[in-house]
Structure 1
Amino acid sequence: MATRVREDYRSLTGPEKASIMLLALGEEHAAKLFGYMDDEEIRELSQVMANLGTVSANIMERLFVEFAEQISSTGSLVGTYDTTERLLMKVMDRDKVEAIMEDIRGPAGRTMWDKLGNVNEQVLANYLKNEYPQTVALVLSKVKADHAARVLGLLPESYAMEVVMRMLRMEPVQKEVLDQVERTLRTEFMATLARTSRRDAHEMMAEIFNHLDRNTENRFITALEERNRDSAERIKALMFTFEDLSKLDPAGVQTLLRVVDKSKLALALKGASEQLRDLFFTNMSERAAKILREDMAAMGPVRVRDVDESQMYMVQLAKDLAARGEIVLSEGKGEDELIY
């Protein structure tokens, strides 16, 4: 993927201009300037600086016209997490720098409530279900209504009703209490989220490969095996394919069958192994299995691309069900292996 280069001077915001200036001045001079700023200013500039990307020499010359000769000779600047972190380390202790960098790496947003609005509702619900109902009520009252609704729907029903009752009876919250909740969220939740959100590269590629059609996937895997067999094997081990649905237990298959689009099921099974077909057929009623077989036969020849799309749909559906705890996607080994 090509690196994004900033070329349009008119699109630069004030904080972006300040960030470019700080980077251009170098660590020593920038460190002195940071020393005159308060925490919120440093936090905002650090966020912008870390996401700046590559800035063209033309913009730098125009922005720092009085230093045109010196700056144009540098070619370009790259604002990254590393350069930002190095700069901050010059003016403050490590704990403070780590807190700011974790804040940057976490979900986007200026305030804590903005950031929470960008956290996946399942992740947020998993955290909040272990908190006091009063705390959860306060948090949900501060985020956008649509996001609060999704989080509420993922909490255990009795607990969710307790939260609703607290929200209905909620009185104005003292600033000290609100500040304490924000601090707790920042130190316990956001910091952990920032650390755990740095995904393993092989997991990311496995997920991408899962969304490729069969021919493209095979082409990439084959090419990768020639260059780096270890990486190729790790990615293949992490990929969850349509045939992996054969590891579902009967209850899992039946759950999947209740929600799957039947036309896509027929198309997906058209390209499945005999073993996987039998698994689905044996978990249906005789009548339903007969109808499905007839539908598959009536299709005649089908395009590989259509089969791949239907199988991809079923894999994603299974993953969604697993994320909600409705089925278990076993790898067929260790603690997840099923014993009959």
Structure 2
Amino acid sequence: MAADPSKFSGAERTAIFMMSLGEESAAELLRHMGPKEVQRIGTAMATLERVARSDIDYVLQEFLSVIHDETSLGIGADDYVRNVLRSALGEDKASGLIDRILQGRNSKGLEALKWLDPRAIAEMIRNEHPQIVAIVLSHLDPDQSAETLSYLPERVQSDLILRIATLDGVLPAALQELDEILERQLSGKNTAKSSMIGGIKAAASILNFMDSSKESVVMESVSQVDEDLATRIQELMFVFGSLVDVDDRGIQTLMREISTESLVLALKGAEEELKEKIFKNMSKRAAEMLREDLESKGPVRVSDVEGAQKEILAVARRLADSGEIILGGKGGETML
């Protein structure tokens, strides 16, 4: 029987490929990945069972087909990365990522932060200048940044969101100061260059991962200082209800990546329109079973529902970042 590539996610295909290489080679590859990638691929490795030989052959063949025409690996690599990312993500979305990959690749201190616990990061930066803290938070992944922000004093949270939203690039002097701080605390090297980080999108992404109660307090404070800026941030925030704007193919891709248990819990607090969107993108039998699960599910805590919704949103953003789905935010054509 021919291999069916659709039954494996991208992380699972990567896991199959790496496991076929052997422990030493797989370990060497993992050393070059960030914490989120390691976690995703490690989870996929742990959950894969009884992978057929035909599936392994398919994954290896897929890899070979991708590199088959690449005859000059390592030559002009920067241009190659820029062109690929711009083609895949578009100029606007790719620009910041290109800066972080190419310009920030030698900035070990900043990258090292991504391996730290958010509470530890908060303790490390809480006494630094707010602008430095804003730069650090902008560099972290949104969920890690949101958790780090939650450990900082409430009186500074709205100020930091304002700074992140109005951050338009980072001057070399500011990054030099940041590198000096990280050099003292993480033994990093002062090799960072100017990078396009921060901005309204970064602020909206961070707020998406904060608890609803804290998010409301921060947004209210931001609105009191700059109502127009608060509105622009709100327009870019992608909440669970916004999934109703995702196309059918995107919904189907998303549901292949989440568990039924999380979906049932998340839909307990969803509008009927979104529920119907989910139902129509399932088989008739699967939709009936999901309806039954929802009806039989007893009362649940609001915090549990919000937790499940944020978990699904995190998966949605990951799929959007990899180009597998498109998230349409409240701003209409906004793509995250």
TM-score (norm 2): 0.45
TM-score (norm 1): 0.45
Higher relative CO (Cα under 8 Å, sequence separation at least 6) belongs to 2
